[in-house]
Structure 1
Amino acid sequence: MSETAVTAGRPIGVAVLGMGNVGAEVVRILTENAADIQARVGAPVVLRGVAVRDLSKTRPGIDPALLTADPATLIARKDVDLVVELIGGIDPPRALILEALETGKSVITANKALMAAHAGELSQAAGANAVDLYFEAAVAGAIPVIRPLTQSLAGDSVNRVAGIVNGTTNYILSEMAETGADYDEVLAEAGRLGYAEADPTADVEGYDAAAKAAILASIAFHTRVTADDVYREGISAITPADLEAAAKFDCTIKLLAICERLTDDGTQRISARVYPALIPLEHPLATVNGAFNAVVVESENAGRLMFYGQGAGGAPTAAAVMGDLVMAARNRVFRGRGPLESTYASLPIATIDDVQTRYYVSLKVADRPGVLAQIAGEFAKNGVSIAAMRQEGAGDEARLIIVTHRASDQAQSETVAALEELDAVTKVSSVLRLEGTND
């Protein structure tokens, strides 16, 4: 028998931590597809145990003898080779994953919050112990994004990664655009349909997308980026009027996660940001509706690539987990290794002030002569060029909508501050960015 296949045929033991929607699907797939998985891996892949919080809960389809409330003891078993972490959150998963890696177990996780905060520490532990750390399911559910970035594009240079990576917010914005309903009404409906959590803050305020942006930026630009490095805005202030106005400019509004390489006089920096933005209807992300996700990658040689599909849900996320599990198991059998963390570039992180984008500004204004010129003058004073201007309504209902050319966040912020001081401006209703254009 060859050296590389010396362990072929020996069962690969798997421990699953957590049995929510995703964990239950992983257990089901492992059990129902055992023969196919064995053929793909080159050895039997055997479920050794599942760690759960409540042993008294009925779980049809799983042998109660496999259940335990002690994840640390399950990880420590000598017949466990791979650990699948599906608990979520930072602690205790961080300690459990470190323990698994340090004792020679490979780890598969779908934990975006943990990877966004501690990827460096966990990757170092995996490297030091010659084991794998896979996390494809941490970014966009079933959509393969991590593996193309780490493997398929390993010989290319990525310039930009942008996408819709949160299904809850995409559902809300899609429904608001289609029905004209307000934010609170659609959020409540999203909760009833199971798209929104009881506490939707992480989704609607952009924390979930920011964690995913940190992971994508780290991989795409070979630089360690954490969620704290990501500029973040949520969607709770978006109104039906914003969506209606966007449509008049042939645009829609999406919550975007954007990671890009900024080059200025030969100096490179990374921008990672999450915010709601107008995008033209002809842009590929504009057609991504409902709870679906999509990520567009732009690289030097491959050009633009788009990945689209189910971004969440038990079965889709479990499919991504299982892809990682098969890879990790195969590496065990044939003594291979998955990609290691790459941080050789160590590029500085740009602030939002360093980023130039176009802007959409909605103002409630006094309906009297000279107001347009007065407002345009404030934009000019701060070096912000106006691309389009539209007035809607009259009298007390007068509203002015302005779309700018590219400007820095600082220049735009100073402009908005000046506008708020004008007697002619009743209220600055919305300030959103416009992405996906070359202007």
Structure 2
Amino acid sequence: MFRTALRNVLAHKARLLMTVLAVMLGVAFVSGTLIFTDTLSHAFRKQSAKSYEGVAVGITSYVDIDDGEETGLSQRTLDRIGELDGVASVTGRVNGFAGVGDPDGKLIGAEWSNTGSNFAPGKDGEDPAYDFTDGSGPVRDGQIALDEDTAAKGEFEVGDKVRVATNGPVREFTLTGVFTTDDGAVGAGGSLVLFDTSLAQRLYLKPGHFHDATVTSAPGADDERILDAVKPLIPENSEAKTGAALAEDQAWTIEQDMSSLNQMLLSFAGIALFVGVFLIANTFTMLVAQRTRDLALMRAVGASRKQITRSVLAEAGLVGLVASVVGFGLGVALAAGLRSGMAAFDMKVPGGPLVIGTTPLMTALAVGILVTMFAAWLPGRRAGRIPPVAAMNSVHAVPTTKSLVCATPSGPLSPRSASR
């Protein structure tokens, strides 16, 4: 029966082409979506882990309003943390909105992800969070530094005047440096502006206070012990976690975001497969009708109903297998195209290879084969009901009472009248 199914597939290649295309497109959507989201998830998780390298403890302050003034982590608190055993350095950060205008006055980057922060140099004059490709960080009021993507979009060079909008009026600053960053807002198509720390505090919080802080440890120090020592020193409206825990939290957030994107893209695949089911069922119905006499002869020589049904399902399985393999290849190309196409929306995707795991491959094969066999199941059942006597007919279907009705100018005759 399997050899018969294989011969039937090869004998009807043209008619099965539309079935192959329907399954192939659905499988391409499914596998492409899974590969694309796996690739993005892996890239962002890797970037997240990199951004927390060297961070022993991260502190986040949930800013409240106290007597009309916003408060956060005070410089005194950071100084006390810096005196703990095993702590190498403490860096405070403030952040808020900062929109950069291009020479024509248009906003650069996605509005919701345009941020500003402070340049916090260490004893060596460098800020470990940023690598400068040109110039240096701002050291006084009236100076800023820009991420390299924003500088390239605005065609800014060190020494140029740049208009920046913050919580107050638009101001003009001198560009002192251009840097690279793993900041998620920049990766999502936004911009990042670095100000001198004292200016950033006046813009976003209050002098001498910070929203967040990162603690680095001395060689050989234990991060958990540092965390236990930090917790009693921070305000009640603040939270401290190890760098490893923060990386895991960010990775979980990324997984949730990828899950939402995954579901949205898979819905298109579901629509394609849903439409494909009807096309597949219609194709196999026509094939069964054309092979009525052949199937009846097989019944006459001893084939059972179940064997006939299984032969049709075997044909569907072969078609589904071929379509799934080809569709998976298209899915890989689709995932690569989607990743490249994100650049058109100013979304920066971390570099790295496509992540092609076993799950997308097995899912593609399972979906393609099972959907094809499911759609062909009803035509297969009908094929199994063809009686052996149908092999003696010259038509492609078993005669029924309705088919024996004769039409005359005066109207149809009943089967009994027609036999007279």
Flag whether TM exceeds 0.5 (same fold). Answer: no
> Which structure features the higher share of helix residues?
2
Higher RCO, 1 or 2 (CA under 8 Å, sep at least 6)?
Answer: 2
> Which structure features the higher share of strand residues?
1
What TM-score, normalized by structure 1, do the two folds share?
0.18
